[in-house]
Structure 1
Amino acid sequence: MALEKVCLTLPTRAGPVSILRDVDLKARSGQSLAIVGPSGSGKTSLLMVMAGLERATSGKVSVAGHDLSGLSEDELALIRGAEIGIVFQSFHLVPTMTALENAALPLEFAGDRDAQNTARALLEEVGLGHRMDHYPAQLSGGEQQRVAIARALSRKPKLVLADEPTGNLDRSTGSTVVDLLFGLQQRRKSTLILVTHDEKLAEACDRIIYMADGRIEREREAALA
């Protein structure tokens, strides 16, 4: 994953607002990065640009060898489905689908005939083998996030993006989910980039990126890496 001179400017009633300013960032395969900074510093916007959910106004965004800037919406959707897994703070599970159906969804969209068996194995891996037929409303917050992680990693993406993955969880549950996320990422040798306010979670990554006012101010290797 690589960003080169990435800028993002969004229109508002008061005029254009610069959200990201000349962001340069590279992450190698298998590496984990934490993005930290005050609210409004551009962290989540940066993640959305990496995911192809927000188009950079200028600069280059490369994911798994693909330059996202020149792709159509359909092409972006294909790359996102195959190469990028996204874990949100609010889980975003389909409420009318079971845990198994939610985890299998990306695989079924991709036409994988073995989607159910692959999803079943993933849910076993995240410790939810006994909850496969339960709906999101029947699951705890930690269990819902584990389903979301299984879904995000179901197609073995090269890039995993997580936006405050423990934000809606208590500390103990959040710690369990983090261990699970890092374990899956390391076994699959994916690049993991996460936005967090949790200092302990940030220190568990290989590198910590500090943002302010839409720019990367500095970065360092994490103490626990």
Structure 2
Amino acid sequence: MTKPIVVLKNVRLTLTSRAGPVGILRDVDLDAREGQSLAIVGPSGSGKTSLLMVTAGLERATGGKVEVAGHDLSKMGEDDLALMRGAEIGIIFQSFHLVPTMTALENVALPLEFAGEGNAQAAARELLQEVGLSHRMDHFPAQLSGGEQQRVAIARALSRRPKLILADEPTGNLDRRTGGHIVDLLFGLQRRREATLILVTHDEKLAGACDRIIRMADGRIESETGALVS
């Protein structure tokens, strides 16, 4: 039995508004084991992306426990949290979030350079080759198609070989054909690296490719299908 890399216990997230406190996540319990793939699905406003952001430490839970790769996020300061996130978590956003003034190569090398790795450029070249962009390394984001930009974003997210990959609607801005290629690429990389993948999606076909499907409604986990243990 593999061990859990993500453990959420009674996780709550409450945000303030002019109308008063709003419960975004309500007593969520979830674990994800090494090498598993999980899809989080549900209607808009059900808390899917918030759950992903709490898991990444980009949003602080109001209550409960969030543990990632053995780290209790509630006990970590912002600096330590950022260091842990850079080393353990790769995040892929729907809108790519590439630096527009940097080439594909420079975008992928950036996290490695921040981590002080001396071979950042060489490692970035290998990653771009792995995602099929060896011919586009010196192009800027505006010169790349949406699918190519997402490939760069995936290579950047995986540059430090994270144990956990979090993806928020990774095919949401892509056409069906391009999205299919990105899905194949993402799952292939996840399996080869034996990483855990948690993704938010509205695409039932994409969700069906995962080991487990978590359905959310009104800030709670409503149901789960798939194997509990990989």
Query: TM-score of the superposition, structure 2-length normalised?
Result: 0.96
CA distance in 2 between counterparts of 1:182 and 1:106 reads 22
Q: Deviations over 1:27-69 (max 9, x none)?
A: 1000000000000000000000000000000111111110101
How far did 1:221 drift?
Answer: 1.1
CA distance in 1 between counterparts of 2:84 and 2:218 reads 29
Alignment of 1:1-225 (within 5 A): 1-221=6-226
Which amino acid letter does the alignment assign opposite residue 119 of structure 2? D
The answer for unaligned runs of 5 or more in structure 1 is none
- Alignment-derived partner of residue 3 in structure 2: none
How far did 1:89 drift?
Answer: 0.2
How far did 1:211 drift?
Answer: 0.1
Q: What is the aligned residue count? A: 223
Which amino acid letter does the alignment assign opposite residue 20 of structure 2? G
How far did 1:149 drift?
Answer: 0.1
The answer for unaligned runs of 5 or more in structure 2 is 1-5
- SS at 1:157 equivalent: coil
Q: Which runs of 4+ in 1 moved over 3 A?
A: none
- SS at 1:11 equivalent: strand
Query: TM-score of the superposition, structure 1-length normalised?
Result: 0.98
Identity of aligned residues (%): 80
CA distance in 2 between counterparts of 1:7 and 1:169 reads 32
